[in-house]
Amino acid sequence: MPPEIPIRKFDFISFSIDCNLKICDIAQETAAALGYASVSIINKSINAFINPNHQHLFLEAIELLNSSSTTIETTLELQLVLASKEMYWFSLELCKQYTSTTNHHFKISATNIQAFKLREANLILQIAEKNKALEALQSTYQINEAIVNNANAIIITVDVDNKISSISKFTEALIGFTIDEIKGKDALDVLLPKQLYPEYHQYVIDLRKKGPLPNPFEGLLRTKNGEERIISWMSNPLILNGENIGRVSIGKDITEVKTKEQALIDRENRFRRIAENIPLPVAICNKEGQTAFLNKQLFEVIGYTIDEIPTIFDAYKYVKYTNPGLVEKEQKEWEHLFTLFSKGQVVSFPVLERIVICKDGAQKHFEISFSLEDNMLYLIFNDVTTKVLYSRKLKQQKDFYETILNNIPSDIAVFDSNHRYLFVNPVAVKDKALRQWLIGKTDEDYCILKNKPLSISEDRRKLFNEVKENKALKNWEEKLIKPDGTVEYHLRKLYPVLNDEGGIELAIGYAVNITDLKQAQNSLIESEQRFKRIADNTPIPICNFDKDMNITYINKKFLDTVGYSFEDVAKADAWPHFIYYPDAASTEKGREEWLKAIENKWHNPKSKTPVLERTIICKNGEHKVFEISFTVNNKLVYAILNEVTERKKAQTLLFESEQRFKALAENMPIAIGSHHIDGEVVFLNKFFVETIGYTTEDIPTLKEWYLRTQPNADTREKLYSHWLETVAAYRRGELQHVPDIETSILCKNGIIKTFSFLFSIYKDVVYIMLVDITERKKAEKELLESHTQLRELASHLQKVREEERKYIAREIHDELGQLVTGLKMDISITKKKVEKITPELGEKLTTIMEVTDEIIHTVRRIASELRPSILDDIGLDAALEWQAKEFEKRTNITCVFVNNARDIVVSMDVKSNLFRIFQESLTNIIRHANATIVKASLVTQENSLIFTITDNGDGFKTENTGRTFGLLGMKERVIMINGIFEIESQSGRGTQIVIKIPLV
């Protein structure tokens, strides 16, 4: 039994030794990993911890480092002794530490490789067991050699210098060289001579220098007789006993595949010829079940013609069923599906397996798959009579042949003479456990394991017996549907290997994946059909022709446009005569230009050819103008015609219109100009030149216009960028109307004038009208200045008025208030003196004192209304809150004041104006609103003071606010303190006033 690989509890240790090989430094964790305390190891010889059998290796390494002046480090593997007396393998890296003597100190880093050494021991035991098994097997080498030499693949092995060491028999037959002729030569020089392929030869050499060749790698191969073949290579290193001894290259000859692909592209008869060459029997029928087409392959395989199978139902008599009891059921299943198809319903046809009795009496097993296209049903017959049979069991084989077989990019299986599996490569069966189980088993065993019908194994044994009896190669194409639903196609071959007596010893199964070829064929068919449908229905005239000007296709739009039939224009010499030229010189020049454009496009398909404008004479005699462009695809030239007859007429009319515009604009009494969107000035009328002074010679471009009319660089750049952005936005449709642009410009005579710019755009030209508004702007400025002066005067008067109110309120409060208070005191004293003598007079004085109290209250009220002292003494928020309470007390209307700006500090102007606005609002509510609730709030928000007044009264139409002096006064007060006044009101829904005052 191989030793059990223990779990490593430490991976890396590090310590130092002196020139006497004694440990002079070790980390505590390193010592603990070895089972020692660090102090117990210091000053001990390193040899005490090395396996005695390995000490000489260590001393030799130390001696080598001490004696060498260039080598400063080395690595060796040996066993270290742990405190538990166990020995562990370590990889030691010795690094020399320089000292003054010739004997040096060393830094030692040790990596635990115990697990790797035990695995190595396991591998040695396994190799020994394999060698015994190899000795017990007979003819293993002959089996492998037979597989390699009989595999239909190119197999070449080279050494590390790229010299050929061996080739398979198939390779010899393909390239024409024997192994004796080319052994020891560079494979590249033999198969790709430098003198014939210098560039490709150098390309492969460069790939070699970069490292392993890419997989797969497609390249050329030249045989001995000079034939060129296209090969798909898979190249892998050849490892023997852990050593790279060269490389094995396994190639698949794809020359035929490439040739077929090119042939498919070149075929013009897209439907019949492609269908005839599909390597599978194909039948096509319509919804009524009538047979529309049987390809040649179906006739060759099955033997019946379309006359013998006129309908799909006539094919039933040629079908045999494996279970006679299911004949009626399976026929009804098919008829049900076909009935749904004939009614136009969406049908998902399963793949049906049927045995067909061919015309020669042979019975063949087919998988019949279906596809629907253009209301036609396509039936594809895949002959699965000869299923893939796999090769002979190989328990052990030498590394050389095992590498080859496992790296061949194809399915390979080997059977013995009794149809038992000997070998299956990983490409054929990816599951390793299943591959190992298959060895020695039969297809019957596999079908039982996978719960598959035993008929599969019976068919495979019949195929195997046929190969065994005929002793000849059997090949066929197979369609595979993978579990995920994808389809693959394989070209399969079953090859017998005979012994010396002529009997079959092995049968080798080999498969090549041809899915890409099949998909390319199907894609080409679909692409061609799609192109024809698109081209026939495209609203653009299209025709194509070959290099000799032979027209091969014309779409319906082309024929409808020019009126000719295909036969009229299909002749090579007829086409040029339909093009109109005014004279002989134009005819010669035009045809030369035509042929030159086609020739250039033919030789340079990716180059840009000029669009030729030609007038074509239609069959009814009408002349139509076309822009003709060319493209080359699939060795055909496609001419695409774009009719521009109406556009040409429109251009003519546009030119005439522009001439009329110029004549009209030239004499207009307004400055008019135009410029192209690229900045070129196109037109300036006489009034423009007379008013501004510049001509087109002065300002040839838009940039020059801004340079002359805007002397300030910053202003010029800003205006120029704004104009370009405005024009671009207008062209994109982002502007719903032409913006009002007013700009001051410097005229040529040095006078600055202000103009209003009006513009419109047609095609790529911007038309501009400049209206001189210099005098109007001057009048507006004077009016604005006058308005500003009036507002400043009003503000001043308002301040004077507030000061007067404040003065009068203080005088009333201080002077009149004191007098009335003194009067009350005098009356009170008099009352006390006379009421004892004359009680009637005391009662009269009491009434006088009450009147005096009312006078005092009235004085205070008038003083407060003129200028509440609370506004000056405490602040705005307190004054507003007091006013709200006073309003509620006087009117019995609920008035709620919300204060979120307590102790706000603002200027006296802000205090006075907001307080007066509140007073005016409350007065308006009493007079007009019929409200029951008034809400007011004072808040601060984002450096602004916001005062809001809301009522639930009758409301009014806000468009009439300009006629109300109260609201007008409020707006003016807000403007004086740099605020914003907003009012919202609807009839029956109350009114809201919002005032925003900046705090910074």
| Domains defined for the chain, CATH in brackets | 12-122 (3.30.450.20), 140-253 (3.30.450.20), 270-383 (3.30.450.20), 399-521 (3.30.450.20), 538-643 (3.30.450.20), 650-772 (3.30.450.20), 874-998 (3.30.565.10)
Q: Closest Cα to residue 560, out of 551, 552, 569?
A: 569
- Residue 756, beta-bridge partner list: 742, 771
Burial class (CB in 10 A: 0-12, 13-18, 19+), 8: exposed
pLDDT digits (tens, 9 = 90+) for 714-750: 888 888 888 888 888 888 878 767 677 888 888 988 8
pLDDT at res. 949 = 92
696: which DSSP letter?
T
The percent of residues in the chain predicted with pLDDT above 90, rounded, is 2
Sheet holding 105-112, edge to edge: 23-26, 12-17, 105-112, 87-97, 73-81
Distance in angstroms (rounded) separating the CA atoms of residues 864 and 907: 20
Dihedral of CA atoms 265, 268, 273, 278 in degrees, nearest 10, equals: 20
Q: Say whether 319 sits in a helix, a strand or coil.
A: strand
Query: pLDDT, tens digit, for every residue of 21-78?
Result: 888 888 777 788 788 887 788 888 888 888 888 888 888 888 888 887 777 888 888 8
652-708 residue pLDDT tens = 776 666 666 666 666 667 788 888 888 888 888 888 888 888 888 888 888 888 888
Task: Determine the average pLDDT of the residues in 600-620.
Answer: 81
**pLDDT tens, residue by residue, 620-654:** 888 888 888 888 776 777 788 888 877 777 777 76
> Helices in 304-453 by DSSP H: which ranges?
327-342, 399-407, 432-438, 443-449
Greatest mean pLDDT among 141-145, 187-191, 548-552, 569-573: 187-191
Confidence of residue 951 (pLDDT cuts 50, 70, 90): very high
Kindly report the backbone phi and psi dihedral angles of residue 484, in degrees, each rounded to the nearest multiple of 5, phi listed first. -85, 5
User: What's the pLDDT score for residue 912?
Assistant: 79
**CA 71 – CA 62 distance, rounded (Å):** 11
If you search the block for the tokens 């005229």, which residue do you land on? 747
Give 9 or 268, the one with higher predicted confidence.
9
Segment 808-837 shows an average pLDDT of: 72
Instruction: Output the pLDDT for position 393.
Output: 37
Q: How many helices (H) and strands (E) does the chain have?
A: 32, 37
**Cα separation of 666 and 858, whole Å?**
80
* Other residues' Cβ atoms within 10 Å of the Cβ of residue 480: 16
Q: What is the pLDDT of residue 281?
A: 86
Say what the pLDDT of residue 793 is: 54
On the question of pLDDT at 394 being above 50, the answer is: no
Q: What number is the average pLDDT over the span 200-204?
A: 81
Q: Which two tokens stand for residue 952?
A: 């639930």
Beta strands in 125-260 (DSSP E): 154-158, 164-167, 217-222, 228-240, 243-253
The confidence score (pLDDT) of residue 813 equals 61
Distance CA 740, CA 718 (A): 17
Q: What is the pLDDT of residue 1?
A: 42
354: confidence class by pLDDT, cuts 50, 70, 90: confident
Where does 194-351 show beta strands of DSSP type E?
217-222, 228-240, 243-253, 282-285, 291-294, 319-320
pLDDT of residue 180: 85
Model confidence at 264: pLDDT above 90: no
Give the CA-trace dihedral at 616, 619, 622, 624, to 10 degrees.
-30
Structure tokens at 937: 């709030």
Q: What is the pTM of this model?
A: 0.28
Who contacts 726 (Cβ-Cβ below 8 Å, separation ≥6)?
735, 739, 741
Q: Which residue has the tokens 């006739």?
A: 299
Return the closest-CA partner of residue 686 out of 667, 703, 701, 705: 667
Confidence of residue 923 (pLDDT cuts 50, 70, 90): confident
971's CB contacts (< 8 A; 6+ apart) are: 981
The pLDDT value recorded for residue 392 is 31
- The partner residues of 458 in beta bridges, in order of sequence, read none
Average pLDDT of the chain to the nearest whole number:
77
Residue type at position 581: Y
Q: How confident is the model at residue 137 (pLDDT cuts 50, 70, 90)?
A: very low
pLDDT at 80 over 80: yes
CA-to-CA distance for 891 and 471, rounded, in angstroms? 124
